[in-house]
Amino acid sequence: MESDEEFTIDYGDDFFGSLGGKTEALNEAHVIARIAFMNQLVQHDRCKQVLTTCAEQAGLLSPALKSQELILELTEATGCKTVEEFYQLLKENQGKDTLTFSTNLEGPEQIENLEARVKELFLSWVNEYNTFEMLIRSKDCTEIVVEGIVEFVKHELALPWAWVAHELMELSYTNLFGLATGRAVTKKLWYEPIDPPAPQVELTFQTLPGESSSQALLRLSEEIKPILDLLLVPPPRISAGKSRNPSVIEQQVDWFFRHKILGESINSIANAPDRDGPRVKKDRATIREGIGEAVGLLSIAPQIWADVDVDESMTKFLLDDAAQSEETG
């Protein structure tokens, strides 16, 4: 189950929460680091294997693939060049009892056979997709997928960031829906400051006996002025901070991924040629520092395992890294 997705997260969503950077620039740097890390992780063979295994164990992969097979057959049978063209055909026939499409066949028997085949394929696809959708929305299947992904991220990769599991869970389900519908899925990730919540205010207003409309309006404008003053004051925001070079961030995340996930030594990374040309200098001290910077940026998101101390976990990792570097000389 492969994907060339880009990732989209709305950080205003309660599921993901807000970022914890002290400046806007740090939060933006986290997003750059997050994209770089996740893009490498989802292309990692072991990650692909885990997502596929989770989908298989949950009983989701087979109906998704069967649904995809049927939608592709339907697309071809109805003379559509692409799946999107077939969905447009469905949209045009929405609310009708029949599916009308064009064909080059002329003989009545051929047309009748094609109509019967399209009807059979359509009913089979609807049934298969409904089965898939029922399964993917069930608690049992979700628990199987979550358990497998958490085991991979928390224990196999030993990463302290629960948000990585959140990302992979979303990716897994998005990929499965893409398979079942035969559609390509494109997602994007961005950082957007959240509009802070309004201050707690309360206003009760009633007209008074014998009061004219103009008098009531004047009194209302006077009573509402303190509330307007509160709401019109610019809300406090974190400072802008100094922007970081995206290429440097991506390079640092690459070093972290290769060292932590792929198990490459600091010496190996320092001596290997860059895949897309040199971006920053590559002595061992710079690589160690860059890995630490990547860890710091990836730790800005607040989603961590409840029973994992991020500072302790990553400190141990960096200490182990330093010891390994000294041993390898």
Give the DSSP letter of residue 170.
Answer: H
d(CA 128, CA 288): 51
The pLDDT, as a whole number, for residue 310 is 43
Q: Which two tokens stand for residue 237?
A: 């925001």
Domain ranges within the chain, ordered by starting residue: 246-328
d(CA 7, CA 189): 5
d(CA 315, CA 319): 6
d(CA 20, CA 11): 11
Tens digits of pLDDT across the chain (329 residues): 333 333 333 333 333 456 777 888 888 899 999 999 999 999 999 999 999 999 999 999 999 999 999 999 999 999 999 999 999 998 888 888 778 888 887 788 888 898 899 999 999 999 999 999 999 888 888 889 989 999 999 999 999 888 898 889 888 888 899 899 988 776 676 666 666 677 788 888 899 999 999 999 999 999 898 888 888 876 667 777 888 999 999 999 999 999 999 999 998 888 887 665 555 567 889 999 999 999 999 998 876 676 544 445 444 444 444 344 444 43
Assessment of whether the complete model's pTM goes beyond 0.85? no
Q: Which two tokens stand for residue 167?
A: 């990302």
Using CB atoms within 10 Å of the CB of residue 231, give its burial: 0 to 12 exposed, 13 to 18 middle, 19+ buried.
exposed
The pLDDT, as a whole number, for residue 39 is 92
The pLDDT, as a whole number, for residue 311 is 45
The pLDDT, as a whole number, for residue 18 is 67
d(CA 169, CA 42): 12
d(CA 13, CA 19): 11
* Cβ atoms 259, 291 nearer than 8 A: yes
The pLDDT, as a whole number, for residue 5 is 36
Give the DSSP letter of residue 5.
Answer: P
Measured N-to-C along each axis, helices 162-181 and 108-136 cross at an angle, to the nearest 10 degrees, of 160
Helix (H, G, I), strand (E, B) or coil at 281: coil
